[in-house]
Amino acid sequence: MASTRTSVCLFLSMLLFLANMQCEAQLSSTFYDITCPNALSTIRSAIRTAVSRERRMAASLVRLHFHDCFVQGCDASILLDEAPSISSEKKAINNDHSIRGYEVIDDAKSQVESICPGIVSCADIVAVAARDASVAVGGPTWSVKLGRRDSTTASRSLAESNLPSFRDSLDRLTSLFGNKGLSQRDMVALSGSHTIGQARCVTFRDRIHNNASDIDAGFASTRKRRCSLDDASSDNLAPLDLVTPNSFDNNYFKNLIQKKGLLQSDQILFSGESTDSIVTEYSKSPSTFSSDFAAAMVKMGDIDPKTGSEGQIRKFCNVVN
């Protein structure tokens, strides 16, 4: 009887082990090595072309991945257009007239479909595009785990509640990231992606016109030239990093120490609170920032992926099959 119980326990343990192995195998950097060996090189080429055409696109593609993963997990739900059964995340407050790069993902998907139809998910293309965009502007690289599948749903309401805002407090930001399994250090590292890209006047107007003590007066004056209190300037752009706006480096953190963070949610990271020491560390060590950013991107890419038989592989990224 005892030996029978032992055999059953061993059998169940083996099943659990195999199940866990299968889960691990479903998200792997080598996922397409056999089914679509040229997938990654095809995506890389498409991203390089897009970034060489418009340098700002690198930041947009990193942000697209971030805004995808924070809503329903990394499942390409952000790419879905409005439809009778789809509440598009594109129309959410933090995405509307803000998120860019959809056409770049569509182009990469089209190229991949032409060589491996029905194999590579839009979710994986978004994840790989973020890595390739970082590399294209001198940022770090990392091994992207693959095997995500695409959602058949989207949620505008989750996008509006789960995505951080430029007005958020440090506690609020810490909570939003913590809910996704990301630490304060991950949060500060990921915020460092603001070393590239631009922001609309409407997102930093209050900060530069408030004459507060947490902003450098000369910096505020410079930014006011193209961002007045008049609504006509709301869509005018300014670089998130005034020093090296098109290069991925650690100047973003140096800017924060000098009270030259463009967004309130940037400057809050260096405001006498718990993240000051991380900002200081990254300002002094570009290599530490680079390695932490890469690790945080891998961690973010692991947020609630759909694998196995979940979801689908969309033929066109903006619509469910």
- The rounded distance, in Å, linking the Cα atoms of 71 and 80 is 13
Determine whether the annotation assigns residue 71 to a binding site.
yes
List the structure tokens of 139: 């940022």
List the structure tokens of 148: 């995500």
Task: Say whether 263 sits in a helix, a strand or coil.
Answer: coil
Choose among 63, 75, 157, 70: nearest CA to 104. 63
Determine whether the annotation assigns residue 245 to a binding site.
no
- The rounded distance, in Å, linking the Cα atoms of 267 and 30 is 39
Spell out the alpha helix ranges (H) of 39-196: 39-53, 57-69, 102-115, 122-136, 156-162, 170-178, 184-191
Determine whether the annotation assigns residue 77 to a binding site.
yes
Residue numbers annotated as active site: 67
Choose among 210, 220, 205, 180: nearest CA to 305. 180
Cβ atoms within 10 A of the Cβ of 169, count?
14
Beta bridge partners of 238: 199
List the structure tokens of 252: 């973003």
Choose among 199, 196, 182: nearest CA to 292. 182
Determine whether the annotation assigns residue 231 to a binding site.
no
Q: Are 109 and 317 in contact (CB under 8 A)?
A: yes
Which phi and psi (to 5°) does residue 179 adopt? Answer: -65, -20
> Using only C-alpha atoms, what is the Rg of the chain?
21
Determine whether the annotation assigns residue 249 to a binding site.
yes
Determine whether the annotation assigns residue 244 to a binding site.
yes
List the structure tokens of 50: 């897009």
- The rounded distance, in Å, linking the Cα atoms of 140 and 295 is 10
Determine whether the annotation assigns residue 209 to a binding site.
no
Cβ atoms within 10 A of the Cβ of 179, count?
11
Determine whether the annotation assigns residue 117 to a binding site.
no
Determine whether the annotation assigns residue 49 to a binding site.
no
Determine whether the annotation assigns residue 97 to a binding site.
no
Please give the annotated binding residues, written as ranges. Answer: 68, 71, 73, 75, 77, 89, 164, 194-195, 241, 244, 249
Please give the annotated binding residues for substrate, written as ranges. Answer: 164
Please give the annotated binding residues for Ca(2+), written as ranges. Answer: 68, 71, 73, 75, 77, 89, 195, 241, 244, 249
